[in-house]
Amino acid sequence: MGSTFKKYASYYDLIYQDKDYRDEIKYLEKIFAKYSQKKIRSILDIACGTGSHLLLLAERGYRLCGSDLSKDMTQIACLKADRKGLKVSIKGNMPMQQVNFRQTFDAVICMFAAIDYLTEIKDLQKTFAQVHKHLRPGGLFIFDIWNGIKFLTSHSPKRTKIVRAEGLRIRRVSTTKVMLLTNRAVISFDCAITKGGKIVEHFKEDHQVRYFFPAEITHFLEQEGFTLQAILPFMGFNQDACTNAWNLTFVAKRH
Ligand SMILES: C[S@@+](CC[C@H](N)C(=O)[O-])C[C@H]1O[C@@H](n2cnc3c(N)ncnc32)[C@H](O)[C@@H]1O
């Protein structure tokens, strides 16, 4: 795990420049309004990456803390926070299964299927237990995962994404190998970065992930002291659409 989101971190924001983080913040705020009795003021993002959700939320007046396993990702998040003059607390080298801020929050978020990087059930349990410690009673835990049901029937073994930004062309080929007996997958990223037709950088990173099923996530949430509020198709509210959704949003409340 230590070798992921290293080189990939430097190109992460360019690769995902088409991801609509602003819209995702609107979605989160709709979830806050619908599922929280008290107004949400403080938020912890336990896999904040380069800080895209965290910084947009801070700009909207929430008090934000964030952490991530990858220091390379959080360094970028800190630089972005400094540039925007935002006061946030961001910690790198901090696995979510050991997240520790010695305070509680109104909400904890874990976005873009970062939970899927927990390939061991014991790490999922540890993470849920740590999140529980960081929430006030009634606080919300919101995260999205790949939907195991959909993953099994329709993952793409090979995909190519090409983006152009800052004079660079980034070609990312992802190859996914599924291990059916362990619910795991290895996504091998092969990234070639060129400028004016010349290769600037070429690297490979293997990301080990796990696909989860809604029933098992619900089981472990309940085991660690949460009440499930909703399973939603990511960016939507129609619970009937869940079976077919590639990503699922979980909303859980701390007892
Ligand atoms: C797909 S990125 C999502 C980042 C960010 N949430 C976003 O939406 O852009 C997954 C993130 O999970 C982080 N990650 C993976 N395993 C982790 C762990 N065990 N604890 C904390 N962060 C982890 C990676 O370093 C990476 O930043």
Give 188-225 pLDDT, tens digit per residue.
999 999 999 999 999 999 999 999 999 999 999 999 99
User: Atom 27 (ligand 1): residue with closest C-alpha?
Assistant: 49
- Closest atom of ligand 1 to 49 CA is 27
The pair of three-digit structure tokens given for residue 27, joined into one six-digit string = 């979605």
Q: How confident is the model at residue 2 (pLDDT cuts 50, 70, 90)?
A: very low
User: Whole-model pTM?
Assistant: 0.97
Q: How large is the average pLDDT for residues 25-47?
A: 98
Residue 24 has pLDDT above 70, yes or no: yes
What is the spatial distance between Cα 175 and Cα 133, in angstroms, rounded to a whole number?
Answer: 37
User: Atom 20 (ligand 1): residue with closest C-alpha?
Assistant: 95
What DSSP line would sit under 145-187, residue for residue? EEBHHHHHHH--SEEEEEEEETTEEEEEEEEEEEETTTTEEEE
Q: How large is the average pLDDT for residues 56-79?
A: 98
* pLDDT digits 0-9 by tens, 166-183: 999 999 999 999 999 999
53 and 43 Cβ atoms separated by less than 8 Å: no
Instruction: Name the residue among 150, 190, 188, 153 with its Cα closest to residue 170.
Output: 190
* pLDDT digits 0-9 by tens, 136-163: 999 999 999 999 999 998 989 999 999 9
Quote the mean pLDDT of the chain.
Answer: 96
Instruction: Name the residue among 115, 136, 103 with its Cα closest to residue 214.
Output: 115
For the chain, list the domains and their CATH numbers: 7-147+212-254 (3.40.50.150), 150-210 (2.20.130.10)
Pocket of ligand 1 from Cβ distances under 6 Å: 5, 47-49, 52-53, 68-70, 73, 95-96, 111-112, 114, 117-118
Ligand 1 geometric centre to CA of 231 (Å): 21
Ligand 1 geometric centre to CA of 196 (Å): 32
60 and 86 Cβ atoms separated by less than 8 Å: no
User: Atom 15 (ligand 1): residue with closest C-alpha?
Assistant: 117
Ligand 1 geometric centre to CA of 216 (Å): 21
Q: How far is CA 87 from the centre of its chain?
A: 22
Q: How confident is the model at residue 3 (pLDDT cuts 50, 70, 90)?
A: low
| Mutational pocket test of ligand 1: of 12, 27, 68, the residue with most ligand atoms within 8 Å of the beta carbon | 68
The pair of three-digit structure tokens given for residue 156, joined into one six-digit string = 């793409």
Task: Tell me what pLDDT residue 4 has.
Answer: 85
39 and 66 Cβ atoms separated by less than 8 Å: no
Q: How far is CA 63 from the centre of its chain?
A: 19
What is the spatial distance between Cα 149 and Cα 173, in angstroms, rounded to a whole number?
Answer: 24
Residue 247 has pLDDT above 70, yes or no: yes
- Closest atom of ligand 1 to 12 CA is 9
31 and 251 Cβ atoms separated by less than 8 Å: yes
Task: Tell me what pLDDT residue 234 has.
Answer: 98
Q: How confident is the model at residue 1 (pLDDT cuts 50, 70, 90)?
A: very low
What is the spatial distance between Cα 46 and Cα 100, in angstroms, rounded to a whole number?
Answer: 10
Q: Give the pairing type, strands 63-67 and 184-195.
A: unpaired
